[in-house]
Structure 1
């Protein structure tokens, strides 16, 4: 089984993680180019985060794939708590010890009033198990840069603090492929952050 992890297209404000944030014009262009490319992979189903930018990306690529689309709340981006609500300077000023340790990326620290990588890995287990046991050979999962890193680390058994070294950040509408061998119950990272189909976008 091949799982195609796809980051959503460019959103209106990349500094915010609001669930209602929509794609930009470029984001839709990226999603259309992605949809054209995905036609060669025989995608049989799309799973999507319920954040608007992910749904818009999924619906756009599905114009080309015409398969079942399943939206799931547990696939949304990592909750960055006060970091997302109040910004970087607020964290630096009010959580200096956290910011110092977090910046080292040597441990999986939760954002103040938010999640850590392991929290996200745990909350995704039901939908992850549904995906790997769905009986299909090629499935696309449209979600977000942070959670893609979490899932790749989880599948490969890598410490969640290492997710920060997996792209900085991932490109919008990029493809990362995990191959699952159900007989051996092993996962392989086949490709990562592939965005060659986006060369035509300004």
Structure 2
């Protein structure tokens, strides 16, 4: 029975001097978190490291990859920082208390009806002929969407699933059963 395990990691702490700019890099603490992450994961037989193209995720991958020699890595649009927002026809699937906040999400982060995030789940969440372990370094809401998906929760339940910087969440697909949440927001290495 083939298995896919995805290790979902939020990037390290962003440099506060960047004023939370969309493409701000890591702080010194963020680099230390990424180093601890790499040390924690060095024995996992990863086939690939995928990361968001944004600087904080790319820098996290650079540091962690120092502990994962010979594991190929690349930036991946599937892991871009996105916020699922309901289209006008699906606003009733979200609690009213969240709608004003969702309406304020900047255009460059909006993912209408989570189309891009669902494509990411379909892309990564599949089994093949052999076991596969992949490291995905991404952003809080992306991880929240994956967790919401594997738990088969309502579409809005990604809200409030907050990840610590460089925490590890593991989701798993097996060939003959529904996906499962193995661990959530593990910070033992930090």
Pick from 129, 133, 141 the counterpart of residue 138 of structure 1. 133
Q: How does 1:60-99 map to 2 (within 5 A)?
A: 60-66=63-69, 67-78=71-82
Q: Name the structure with the higher strand share.
A: 2
Q: How does 1:28-39 map to 2 (within 5 A)?
A: 28-39=31-42
Task: State the Cα distance separating 1:13 from its structure 2 match.
Answer: 3.0
Residues 52-72 of structure 1: CA deviation (Å, up to 9, x unaligned): 000000111111112011211
Q: How does 1:1-202 map to 2 (within 5 A)?
A: 1-13=4-16, 18-66=21-69, 67-78=71-82, 104-105=97-98, 109-112=102-105, 114=107, 119=113, 121-133=114-126, 135=128, 136-167=131-162, 170-184=163-177, 186-198=178-190
* CA 172–151 in structure 1, closer or farther in 2 if over 3 Å, else same: same
Task: State the Cα distance separating 1:74 from its structure 2 match.
Answer: 3.1
Distance in structure 1 (CA, Å) of the matches to 2:49 and 2:23: 20
SS at 1:197's partner residue?
A: coil
Q: Which moved more, 1:174-183 or 1:132-141?
A: 132-141
Which runs of 5 or more residues in structure 2 are unaligned? 86-93
Which runs of 5 or more residues in structure 1 are unaligned? 82-100
Residues 126-181 of structure 1: CA deviation (Å, up to 9, x unaligned): 444332347452111000112211222123321232122323xx210000000111
Aligned pairs, number: 176
Taking structure 1 as the reference length, what is the TM-score of the superposition?
A: 0.74
Task: State the Cα distance separating 1:80 from its structure 2 match.
Answer: 9.1
